[in-house]
Amino acid sequence: MSLGSAAGRLAQVLLGDPVVARLGPEDILPDAWLAKAERVLSLPGDHGRFGLVHFARHLGWLHNRAAAWSERHIVSEMLGDGASRDAALAGFFSNPQVGDKQLYLLLKPLLIDLITRDRESPRRDPLALGRFFVGGWLTHDDDGKRWLSDDEFRRVLTYAPDALRSHVLWQVGWFEFSEKIAFLRRVWPLQLAVRTPTVVGRLCTLAFDDERHFPELVSAILPLVSHSQIGRVAWQVPHDKIETITNYPDQILELLAVVLPDDVARWPYGVNQILEGVIKAKAALVTDPRMIRLKGIWDRR
């Protein structure tokens, strides 16, 4: 609704102003432009909030060019309460880009709070929050200190909804290997409540999608997974990973023995073909107690 409102259109016009287009990478926003933006935000009732949505969508860019102004007029609303807070968060979540440490550290306590305390709030956006937290963890100061610490990220993931945890793990799949291992060993929580079918499946995918480092990833993942108590393991079995199965049958069996439950109805579809591939790759594993258990569960279906 804010997109088609008069205030929304005014904000769009300001953001598309030729004065803005001519700014260089280090230029600040002119006072005259900020005064116009302030008048939009000062419109009564929902009109001002519609403008706030638009400006909050560009908060990272605005803060780089007018830090004090954006903190006074946008960040302060995000840290407040009521309808203006909802409007500012809605705009920010549609484009959660934060380019400088000062802004990140201002917003971090609020967004951690949305996950760990305000858990029923409709203002949360799992995908946007996931991008915010991943970006902060990956960003280091010159002295190597992360904007989001291991402990802070672990706390977030412990309380997060599965949608956020799953999205974070999808992003982890694109990390450099050293960061993947650091994340799995130092950040991912050990609590049983986190080991949902979705998370277990995503962790399996993370390992199978990186054949070169498959053994190391399995080693890092094993302490983080177990039989899910409910639901089918949400894992799309990778039948095309022939080289992984051929090269690492021991590690695959070790992983499957941990994540596959005793109820075959909750196994991912087609996982029996992975077990057959493991035996084909290393015939001696047919007498391994873990394989005997899994084959016995499958044969009783």
- Residue 7 vs residues 64, 94, 125, 194, 225: alpha-carbon distances, Å: 23, 18, 24, 43, 50
Residue 72 pLDDT greater than 70, yes or no? yes
Nearest to 270 by CA among 245, 237, 297: 237
Report pLDDT digits (tens) over 91-148: 999 888 898 999 999 999 999 998 887 655 545 678 888 999 999 999 998 888 999 9
Residue 140's SS3 state is: strand
Residue 72's SS3 state is: helix
pLDDT at 118: 61
pLDDT at 47: 87
Report pLDDT digits (tens) over 29-41: 999 999 999 999 9
Nearest to 110 by CA among 69, 56, 66, 31: 56
pLDDT at 55: 94
Per cent of the chain over pLDDT 70 is: 95
Which amino acid is it at 6? A
pTM of the predicted structure, to 2 decimals: 0.89
pLDDT at 212: 94
pLDDT at 10: 86
Q: Tell me what the mean pLDDT of segment 197-226 comes to.
A: 95
Round the average pLDDT of the chain to a whole number and report it: 90
Residue 209 pLDDT greater than 70, yes or no? yes
- Helical H segments across 22-149, by residue range: 31-41, 46-57, 59-65, 67-70, 76-78, 83-93, 101-116, 126-138
Report pLDDT digits (tens) over 255-298: 999 999 888 888 988 899 999 999 999 999 999 999 999 999 98
Using CB atoms within 10 Å of the CB of residue 48, give its burial: 0 to 12 exposed, 13 to 18 middle, 19+ buried.
middle
pLDDT at 1: 47
Q: Tell me what the mean pLDDT of segment 65-94 comes to.
A: 93
pLDDT at 228: 64
